[in-house]
Amino acid sequence: MGPISMTPDPDKAVYVISVAAELAGVHAQTLRIYERKGLLEPARTPGGSRRYSEIDIALLRRIQELTNEGLNLAGVKRVLELERRLTQLEIEMQQLQVAANATVMETHRHYRRDLVPLEQSVVPWLDPRRRR
């Protein structure tokens, strides 16, 4: 049996709405409004109760930062979408860089394999037209 992890899974939805609201520093009704506006989508229990994860709490805090800076909820939604897209593009760029580096290295390996060492020695050149 493997070691027991002491860090909770950040994706695991464990917080009820009141606890999530307190952790994020907002009222529970605010969380319901954010959900209606499409800013977050908490998990649901079979009975329909909302459950929030650590990732949801971090998102709630980010929403609070943006609204405190003066953005309305439509602006917040757009910023969050752009931040998600930026993260996706950064990941894709890293993957492309890794693939490009691998291609360059493979190409260099082919060059090294195709190069044949030439034995070099100095040989005096004798012009056949010249008399000794």
pLDDT digits (tens, 9 = 90+) for 83-125: 999 999 999 999 999 999 999 988 887 776 666 666 766 677 7
Which residues are CB-contacts of 8 (< 8 A; sequence separation ≥ 6)?
Answer: 14, 54
Average pLDDT over residues 22-26: 93
Domain chopping of the chain, boundaries: 17-113
Structure confidence at residue 128 (pLDDT)? 77
Count of other CB atoms within 10 angstroms of residue 53: 19
pLDDT at 114: 63
State both tokens at 118: 């030439």
| The pLDDT value given to residue 124 | 75
Please state the rounded mean pLDDT for residues 37-51: 93
Q: Identify which has the larger pLDDT, 74 or 7.
A: 74
Cα 26 to Cα 99: distance, rounded to the nearest angstrom:
44
CATH topology of domain 17-113: Multidrug-efflux Transporter Regulator; Chain: A; Domain 2 (1.10.1660)
What is the rounded CA–CA span in Å between residue 109 and residue 70? 55
What pLDDT does 11 receive? 78
Q: Which two tokens stand for residue 115?
A: 């190069």
Contacts of 73 by beta carbon, 8 Å cutoff, 6+ apart: 33, 34, 37, 39, 67
More confident residue, 38 or 107: 38
